[in-house]
Each structure stands twice: as structure tokens, then as C-alpha cells.
Structure 1
Amino acid sequence: MHKLRLLAVIALATGWAFGAAAQGTLRIGINEDPDALDPATNRLASGRQPLTAICDKLFDVSTDLDLVPQLAESYVVAPDGMSVTLKLRPGVTFHDGEPMNAEAVRFTLERNVTRTGSLRRSELTALDHAEVVDPLTLRLVLKEPQSSLLLINLAERAGMIVSPKASEALGDRFGTAPVCAGPYRFVERVPQGRIVVERYANYWDRAMQGPDRIEYMPITDSTVRISALRSGELQIAERLTPTDLPQLDADPNVNVVSAPDLGYHVIRLNTNNGPHGALLGRDVRIRQAINLAIDRNAMVHALFEDKYTAGNQFVNPSNPNYDTSHPVPERDVAASRRLLRAAGVPNLTFTLLVPPERERQEAAQFIQAMLSEAGITMNLETQENATMLQNGRRGQFEALFTFWSGRPHPDGNVFTHYSCTGPQNDSKYCNAALDEILVKARQTDDAAERQRLYRSANAILAEELPSLILWHRRTFTGVSTRVRGFVPHPDSTIRVRGITLQ
């Protein structure tokens, strides 16, 4: 049996108090080199790791996905649901010494909406404007009564508050030297080398435990991350794959902890983003043929030892919002060939962009072999993840293999990717009926109605297939036995507060 620490029993004993004996340096192996460390524009999941240490949010979520206070101590929703009043934590400063107050929060939220290239805009569509009531009180005035959705989004990058002074001074270069109000301040970044942060002496939570210095080390190959963990060069290694785990079974110096994952792995198909969308976007039968040629269950069994869950929707099959009338499809090569002939492309050829990460490389090769049996040639082109996603935004792709780390509210898994104006809708897929459903789902707090709406949205996406969702992970993290206080989260983000080194 693998040495897994289940989420329910992972609360490890904590060590020394903040400011006590020196904690030294914690080295964390992350899956890839992040894009810009700007909460407004950051897209890669690996960027959330250092950003979470550098930038406190208005709220966080617990391992049970409940909202918990961080920079905002409390909130009150107006009786009509059209505003939310936040009370901010007193005595908080940014790493440049400037006060973290209501005006700074107002500035940040406005920046998230207006900054060129912001990926947070769709997460704040409910917000009309923010009003400063007093230095520690802010009123969020809403366009529609969507307070629950707005609040959960403020527990993600949309709620990371930045220093207005540093933002105005650095402009578009803020992501090269972020200044926030988290427990660690940014020190340096060596591209493809490391991101270094050090504990901020004036952090508001003086009792917080944590190492003095953290180095985030981008290591794409999980085998190399494991070797570095076992040798002691790393103390934490994220995103291990199921096939990595046997190597750690007999190692007395490493534990493996896991948590269910909120997200999904997905092949995005270009349906309408420039000339590269002409082939896969012209006839839904082409996308349906590709879909039917893939055996998700066989892939999960062969590559991931059934530790992941085969899926085909933006929530996993155990989620109440899953559309049970469109389950994970059975593979049907004959039907795939018939659809291709009917669409006029019996010998379909297209190119899939895939990052160098071993898990997606192996899955891409597995899918390539399955598609070939249906007469489909899928060429593979390896690109660094950040480059691949840039090409996705520009429409320079036919298909790309990415993953979404997931959000507690289903809206976070679907709106930004599939609504007509979604900032991460690289396919430029647009369906007015789907948009109407997604907006209604944002507006209701009735769980039964929201479930009905998301099942309707799933039904549309399962038919039109602007992307092929393939599986839902468990997150596996390797942790040195020197580490105390590490708790895995369903959003895959490493919270460094509370971690100590023995």
C-alpha cells in the first residue's frame, strides 16, 4: 500500500512558533516555470504556488471548501443581495510598507477589471463598483445578486490585494517583482531556475509559523522532482503521478499525501479562433468522431492505475451538477469512422500541442494510437506550457493539451472557458443559449435550480465538444519527513503558512 495520508487525517503536528529558532530554507519543486507573477494576469497553476505565499487574499477556502477570513475579517450581505460590506483586518502593510486598506482593495479590484490582459475580469462581472466607507470598510456594489459567487472568487487570485504604489510604479512589469501583503516577500526570480521569497518581518499574523526562506524550483520531469526530493534537495514536490508513487514506498524519509482535485485535464479544440480553427470548427461531427475514438477508462487504467477518474464534463461524475444523461462515452471506432466520412474528412489530420510534462506526453501518445485506429492522424508538437498557452490565446493551434486546477464553485470551471467572451476561451467557441444558461446559474443561490442549469450546460458542451475533457485527478504531493504542518488542498495550491522544518 502506498504511504498516503488521507485528507481527513493529514493535520500533522506543528513545530516552532513564529520568530523562534531559525527555520532555514524550504525548497518546493513545482511542475513548470510560471508565467507572470501578477494576480491579474497569471494563468499557469504553478504560478499560484509562489503567489499564495506573496499575496494574501481577502478570503481563503478551507480543505472543506468553506470560506475563511484572511485580509477581510468579516462580511455582511445586504438584505436585497445587491451589496457586500467587507471589514478589513487592521494593522496590515504591504511589503513596501504602504498600508493595506480599503482604498488599496478598491484599487486592486478596479485593476483586475481594467488591466490589459486581465484574466480576473470574468470572475468579477457581478461587481459594479467598490465604495470606500472608511479606511477599513469597503462596500462592494453588485450589478446582480451574485454575492456567493463573488465571495468565493475573492478567495482566489481575484482577491489577492496588490500595493497600489508598486503597481503604479511598475505598470505592466508588476509581475516581475510583485508587492503584496502575504507572509513572504518576493526576492528574486531566475527564469527556469528558481523563485525566491523570504519571510516578511511585519506580517500581520506574528504567530504564524513558517520557514525563513522558500525557493520554488521549476522541474518539469516528475522523475527528476522525485530524485531531488529523495536526495534532500527538495522538501516538497508537487504533482506527482500515480506511476511515481512506488518509488517512494520504501523511502523512510518521504511521505506522500493526497487530496481530491477540483479540476480536469482537457484537450481544447480550436473551433473559431482564426484560420487554425477552420478544420475542427467547421463540423461538429469531426469533433464527435475524435471523441468517440478515445477510451478514457482504458487510458486512466493503463497510465494512472485507476487513481484518477475518467471524465467528460467540467465537474467529475460524482458531482451533483454532472449531467448523467451524457456519461463518459464508450469508445466506438466504427461510429467514429462513419462520422468522419459524413463530414467529408475520412482521413483527418491535425496537430496537438502538448507540454513536456511526462503525464500529458504519455497520455498524448496513448490517444494518438487510439485515434490512428479510426483513421485519424494526430501529430504531436511539444511546447513549453507558457508558450503553448500564449499560442492558444493567439489562435495558433488546432488542439492543445492543458489542464484546469478547478474552483469550488462550478462557475469557475466553465464560464471563463466556454462563455462567448470568456478570457480563457482559447477556442473562441460561442453559443448564445449556453451563455444564457451560465448567466442564470450565476444569478441563483437555489442549489436545485443551479444543478438543473449546470446539467443543461453540460448537455450542450457534451454535444458540441469545443474541448475533450479526459480525466479528473487526485493530487499527490511528496513531502519530506522533516516537514511538519503541510495540509493538501483540493485546489492543488500549497499553503506555506503553518509549515515548519524539523
Structure 2
Amino acid sequence: MKRHIPTLAALMLAASTLAVSAAELRIGLESDPDALDPAKSRTFVGRIVFTAMCNKLIDVNEKLEFVPQLSTAWNLSEDGLTLSFTLREGVKFHDGTPFDAEAVKANIERAKTLEDSVRKSELASVESVEVVSPTEVRMHLTGPDATLLAQLSDRAGMMLSPTAFANGADVGANPVCSGPFKFVSRVSQDKIVLEKFADYWNADAIKLDRVVFLPIPDSTVRLANLQSGDLDMVNQLAATDMAAVSASGNLRVEQVVGLGYQGITFNTANGPRADNPAGKDARVREALNLSIDRQALSQVVFSGAMPPAGQPFPPDSIYHDPAFPPPARDVEKAKALLAEAGVKTPVRIDVQTPNTPVQMQMMQVVQSMAAEAGFDIQITAKEFATLIADAGKGDFEASQQGWSGRVDPDGNIHQFVTTDAGFNDGKYSNPDVDRLLNEARKVSDVETRKGLYNEAQQILSRDLPLIYLYYLPWLYGVDQGVQGFKPYPDGMIRLENVTDAD
């Protein structure tokens, strides 16, 4: 019998074939995430990475209905003061630590008490967490909270291994969750590498071996990398590139109406940089608001793909109120408001802006429009994570930033305008707004909540701590080899049953 001994070349070919067969998905992000710690994270792209890495107590489906994830069932008591969860059995964190009720308690308490947690106001109604058994946990509330399930379907409900944050360890440097992919490495401004977690509770739905996220702020460069095959997907395709992608034989556009918006936040009370005309006088902010032609902005920069905005709730939301439409441009009224405010023109405002070409172009158009009404807008370009960090510290006069949107309307407004809320960078404070929005958290009846939001928006439309520019549809450029991807209105990239033939 003749034996066949593999040659070195054959062994090398076999090894090469195995390497190629490992399915890796390369996703181009519009910016680099901030801290990979759910308690501290503020960026949209960070949420995309977390979706691949961290499971939550509950999730949402394509219709934005709550569905099980780490919990299999939940129940709210009749008085609205106790929210109970039945937890999924057999779940492990990436470090082997078992997921159980004690882990839920530790995570919620950490998010509520960590000094620099931005989840505190999202979980403000949770008074205590009771471990009933390893698979049952109860959250005792200070009062009814209609928003809490929505909060727990996002970063407030993401579970980290308690072992990973014991003794104050830096979670962001080595996040340990229980999702389909585990953290491997991160090079700032370069890439984040995740690999498949073999012990994932839903492992049969995960077809990919690795996921690599690559932050590329320039949309033109992202597109070029997608066209060359160096990327398999980009998370936010420039609206002006949709036609080119659609015409390509090997690429496609995936899109869905989103929940969020882009706007400009003003520093009204956060340190010395609030001492400027726009920070001190709502009439100046209103003048800037009226100087912008939102329809023209959408056409010039986004080929009409971004609907003009005048409130935090997008047109498809049941909480959208026609009483607050996008303001029509009125240059003469803007000039009159500046004269009434007694400010010297041109009014100089420094606006920090993400250093992406599209956002820079958008602000340059705003700059040109505002100049006609008597403004001198100075644009300061910053990497997005830096922009967010500086905004939190009060190191800004005005900040062009957006919000990816939330399932519950509270998520689009409360955090930004109530006193000391996590994303209230300008430190705006109005007790009537606080009262109305806190009350809206307590009621579940849609019409009652709409009435409360309407009253709050009437005040906010006068005070203008922030102005809304346009709403955000989610636009993805995807290689034809990628199959099984479904865009969701929340903008997250879910990788269950996604395959890559390349």
C-alpha cells in the first residue's frame, strides 16, 4: 500500500484555505467610539459595537417591539412600582462568569452610582434591585416609569461581567459582556476587533468568526474602501453616494427611517464659555434658528434625503406634534431679534463640529446662511469623541451634535433638557420643563404623555437650549456578498444570521 505524504506546499495551501474560510465582516464606522463602557458611553457608533458585544435585558425587533434577550419574560406590578424579570438560564459572560440575578443587581447599581455614569437619569426611578433567585430579579421603583423598559433595551440594560468591574477596574480597556462576539483588541482611531464567542447562548445564529470595526470619518474614503472590497459594510452612507452604490453591480443600499435628529446645542450655564450672546439670550438663539433654511440645507448637502426638523420626535413617531414644524427661514425677523437683544453684529459664535466632511459641509452652509442675518459663525472641527467629551465639560459655546433616537420619546428629550441630566451639556434648567418631563415618565397613556410633551415643547421653543436641523434616516452601503442583514429603525447593526460570502 502506497502512503501519500503531504508536501510542504500542500500543507501551506491547506492552512491558507482554512484562514480564508474564517468569515470576517469589516464594518466602516463614521467615527471612533468613546469609552467601551455602557455606563459611560455617549456615542452612536459605540452602541453599534456594543450590539455585537453586549447583550441587554431586553431588545427590540424591526417594529420596535420589546423582545427577550437576557431576560425571557418581565412583568410590571399593577401599581407600577415593581418590575420583575425572569432571566435566561445557562448564559455566560466572555470570561466564564455566570450571568444571574446577582450580576443584574451589580450592573444596575454600578450604572446608578458610578461617578461618571451617564445612565443615572435613565435609571433614576430604580430605588433598589432585589435578587429573588438566580433566575429572578425585581426592580423596586420610586414611582411608575413608562420609560424604563426602553432604557433597559439599550445601554442601561447592557450587562457586564461583575468580575470585570470588580475593584474599580477599567471596563473600557477590556469590556467583558455576554454577547455574540468578545473583545480582542482596540487601536484608537484605527480598529476594534471582536471574535465569535463559542459559548454564546444563541451561538447557532452567529455565522461570522470575526468582526472588525474601522472608524473612517471621511465618507468618501469609506465609500472608496467599500468599492475596493476593503470594507464589507459602511454604517452611514453619504446621501450623495446612494446613486453610485445602487448603480454598482457588487454593492447595494440598505436604508430605514430612523428615530433621531441632528441639531445644535447651546451652552447656557456650563462654566465660563456660556458667557456669550447666544448662551445668555434666547433671542439670539432664536435669531440663529430663523436664519437657517432647512429645506435648502437638505437639498444642498444631502440631496433631499434628510427631512427638516423642528422638534425631537421624527414625523413617523406617534409623539410628533404638527404644532412644532421646522421653522421657516426669516432673515428679517432674525435681524430684528438681534437688534432687540442689543447685541453688536456680527454676533460671533464658536460652533464645535464633528470633523467629518459631511458635517463640516453642513455647518459651512449654516455658516453662510447665518451670515446674512448678522452672525459670524466660527467652526471648530473636532474628532467626535473629543467633541462629546468637551461638551460634557462645558468647553464649548455651541455644539453641532445629534442623537440616534430612542424607542420611547423620553429618550429623545429628557436627557438633554432636564436639570443635571446626563446629556444636558449646556446645563439648561427650567423647573417647569423638569416637572412636565418627569411627569411624562410616570404615565403610559399616549394622549396624556403627548399633552405633557406639548407643554414642555412650548417652553423649549421659547428658551431654545438646542435647535433641531434635520432627521436621520439610516443609510448603509453593503457588499452583495453580505446576506441576512436587516436594517432596524434604531440604527443598530445586528449580526444574527448574517453571512459574508467574500
TM-score w.r.t. the length of structure 2 is 0.94
Tell me the equivalent position of 1:215.
212
Tell me the equivalent position of 1:11.
none
Question: Does the CA-based 8 Å contact 2:352-2:381 persist in structure 1?
Answer: yes
Residue 174 of structure 2 corresponds to residue 177 of structure 1: yes
Between Structure 1 and Structure 2, how many residues are aligned? Answer: 480
Q: 1:80 to 1:364 in 2, by over 3 A?
A: same
Tell me the equivalent position of 1:17.
none
What is the distance in 2 between the residues matched to 1:117 and 1:85?
27
What is the distance in 1 between the residues matched to 2:144 and 2:21?
48
Residue 446 of structure 2 corresponds to residue 447 of structure 1: yes
Match of 1:201 among 198, 205, 230: 198
Q: Any idea what SS the aligned residue of 1:310 has?
A: coil
Match of 1:274 among 271, 274, 293: 271
Tell me the equivalent position of 1:375.
374
1:22 CA drift (Å): 4.9
What is the distance in 2 between the residues matched to 1:37 and 1:276?
29
Question: Does the CA-based 8 Å contact 2:180-2:203 persist in structure 1?
Answer: no
Match of 2:304 among 290, 303, 306: 306
What is the RMSD of the two structures over their aligned residues, measured on CA atoms? Answer: 1.3
Task: Name the aligned partner's letter for residue 60 of structure 1.
Answer: D
Residues 415-456 of structure 1 deviation map (CA, whole Å, 9 limit, x = unaligned): 111101211100100010000000110000111101111111
Residue 425 of structure 2 corresponds to residue 426 of structure 1: yes
Instruction: Report matched runs for 1:118-157 at 5 Å.
Output: 118-146=117-145, 148-157=146-155
Task: Name the aligned partner's letter for residue 73 of structure 2.
Answer: S
Q: 1:42 to 1:457 in 2, by over 3 A?
A: same
Q: Any idea what SS the aligned residue of 1:291 has?
A: helix
1:489 CA drift (Å): 1.0
Task: Name the aligned partner's letter for residue 140 of structure 1.
Answer: M
Tell me the equivalent position of 2:348.
349
Instruction: Report matched runs for 1:334-413 at 5 Å.
Output: 334-347=332-345, 348-413=347-412
Gaps in structure 2 of 5+ consecutive residues:
1-19
Question: Does the CA-based 8 Å contact 1:346-1:375 persist in structure 2?
Answer: no
Residue 23 of structure 2 corresponds to residue 24 of structure 1: yes
Tell me the equivalent position of 2:479.
480
Question: Does the CA-based 8 Å contact 1:40-1:157 persist in structure 2?
Answer: yes
Question: Does the CA-based 8 Å contact 1:102-1:136 persist in structure 2?
Answer: yes
Tell me the equivalent position of 2:331.
333
Using CA pairs under 8 Å that are at least 6 residues apart, name the structure with larger relative contact order, 1 or 2.
1
Q: Any idea what SS the aligned residue of 2:182 has?
A: strand
Task: Name the aligned partner's letter for residue 254 of structure 2.
Answer: V
Tell me the equivalent position of 2:63.
64
Residues 217-265 of structure 1 deviation map (CA, whole Å, 9 limit, x = unaligned): 0100111111111111111111112101122132111110001110100
Q: Any idea what SS the aligned residue of 1:186 has?
A: strand
Task: Name the aligned partner's letter for residue 51 of structure 1.
Answer: F
Q: 1:384 to 1:175 in 2, by over 3 A?
A: same
Tell me the equivalent position of 2:85.
86
Task: Name the aligned partner's letter for residue 435 of structure 1.
Answer: D
Q: Any idea what SS the aligned residue of 1:122 has?
A: coil
Question: Does the CA-based 8 Å contact 1:22-1:212 persist in structure 2?
Answer: no
Moved more, 426-435 or 293-302: 293-302
1:79 CA drift (Å): 2.0
Question: Does the CA-based 8 Å contact 1:354-1:383 persist in structure 2?
Answer: yes
What is the distance in 2 between the residues matched to 1:311 and 1:471?
4
Task: Name the aligned partner's letter for residue 368 of structure 2.
Answer: A
Tell me the equivalent position of 2:10.
none
What is the distance in 2 between the residues matched to 1:22 and 1:106?
41
Tell me the equivalent position of 1:256.
253
Residues 357-386 of structure 1 deviation map (CA, whole Å, 9 limit, x = unaligned): 122111100000001111110011111111
Tell me the equivalent position of 1:8.
none
Q: Any idea what SS the aligned residue of 1:443 has?
A: coil
Residues 464-483 of structure 1 deviation map (CA, whole Å, 9 limit, x = unaligned): 11111100021100111111
What is the distance in 2 between the residues matched to 1:201 and 1:427?
44
Question: Does the CA-based 8 Å contact 1:95-1:181 persist in structure 2?
Answer: yes
Task: Name the aligned partner's letter for residue 278 of structure 1.
Answer: D
What is the distance in 2 between the residues matched to 1:322 and 1:456?
13
Identity across matched positions, percent: 40
What is the distance in 1 between the residues matched to 2:387 and 2:402?
12
Moved more, 154-163 or 344-353: 344-353
1:286 CA drift (Å): 0.8
Tell me the equivalent position of 1:324.
322
1:323 CA drift (Å): 3.4
Residues 322-348 of structure 1 deviation map (CA, whole Å, 9 limit, x = unaligned): 333332111111111111111111411
1:172 CA drift (Å): 5.0
What is the distance in 2 between the residues matched to 1:312 and 1:47?
26
Q: Any idea what SS the aligned residue of 1:387 has?
A: helix
Tell me the equivalent position of 1:191.
188
What is the distance in 1 between the residues matched to 2:449 and 2:32?
37
Q: Any idea what SS the aligned residue of 1:323 has?
A: coil
Question: Does the CA-based 8 Å contact 2:72-2:87 persist in structure 1?
Answer: yes
What is the distance in 2 between the residues matched to 1:51 and 1:326?
34
What is the distance in 1 between the residues matched to 2:104 and 2:324?
42
Tell me the equivalent position of 2:282.
284
Task: Name the aligned partner's letter for residue 423 of structure 1.
Answer: G
Residue 243 of structure 2 corresponds to residue 246 of structure 1: yes
What is the distance in 2 between the residues matched to 1:390 and 1:501?
36
Moved more, 491-500 or 441-450: 491-500
Moved more, 316-325 or 64-73: 316-325
Question: Does the CA-based 8 Å contact 1:23-1:500 persist in structure 2?
Answer: no
What is the distance in 2 between the residues matched to 1:337 and 1:78?
55
Task: Name the aligned partner's letter for residue 117 of structure 2.
Answer: S
What is the distance in 2 between the residues matched to 1:127 and 1:173?
25
What is the distance in 2 between the residues matched to 1:226 and 1:198?
25
Instruction: Report matched runs for 1:87-106 at 5 Å.
Output: 87-106=86-105
What is the distance in 1 between the residues matched to 2:315 and 2:268?
26
Question: Does the CA-based 8 Å contact 1:321-1:452 persist in structure 2?
Answer: no
Question: Does the CA-based 8 Å contact 1:152-1:408 persist in structure 2?
Answer: yes
Q: Any idea what SS the aligned residue of 1:192 has?
A: coil
